[in-house]
């Protein structure tokens, strides 16, 4: 089956980002296809590469990046939600005149149309949020 995953909660908030990760991992291990993982609202904070969680804690962003690399996942961050929260890739940093970018490997910034398409193309859109 083809899935799209929507993550609306930031990392280390409650548990939504962790549940989304565990669900995505289980679905992939069962042989399902993940069409896209879309990060929206505070969920965009899952994509910052500047977070440094304690070493004995899980690194949520790195975990997503690794799963994404392993399975060639399309991990999309909502541009409007990202701009509000200070999450930029190289192009956006340049466009907005900022001196740095902070997006982690495997994530890309794009628009809400990507969420609509994810809902249309997938058999199931599964939401994890706050």
Binding positions for other proteins, rule: CB under 8 A: 1, 3, 8, 14-16, 19, 22-23, 25-27, 29-30, 32, 124-130
In the chain, where do the E strands start and end?
2-7, 33-39, 75-78, 107-110, 124-128
Contact 11, 47 (CB under 8 A): no
Compare residues 21 and 107 and give the one whose CB is closer to other proteins.
21
Say which of 7, 16, 27, 78 is annotated catalytic. Answer: 78
Contact 127, 13 (CB under 8 A): no
Compare residues 103 and 122 and give the one whose CB is closer to other proteins.
122
Q: How far is the CB of 18 from other proteins (least distance, A)?
A: 9
Catalytic residue list contains 78: yes
Which residue in the block uniquely carries the two structure tokens 């440094």? 52
């Amino acid at each position: 089956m083809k899935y799209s995953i929507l993550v609306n909660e930031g990392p280390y908030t409650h548990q939504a980002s962790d549940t989304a990760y565990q669900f995505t991992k289980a679905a992939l291990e069962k042989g399902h296809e993940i069409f896209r993982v879309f990060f929206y609202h505070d969920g965009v904070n899952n994509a910052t590469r500047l977070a440094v969680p304690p070493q004995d804690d899980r690194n949520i962003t790195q975990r997503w990046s690794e799963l994404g690399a392993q399975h060639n996942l399309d991990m999309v961050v909502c541009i409007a939600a990202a701009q509000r929260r200070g999450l930029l890739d190289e192009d956006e940093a340049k466009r907005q005149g900022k001196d740095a970018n902070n997006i982690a490997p495997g994530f890309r910034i794009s628009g809400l149309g990507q969420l609509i398409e994810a809902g249309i193309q997938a058999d199931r859109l599964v939401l994890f949020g706050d």
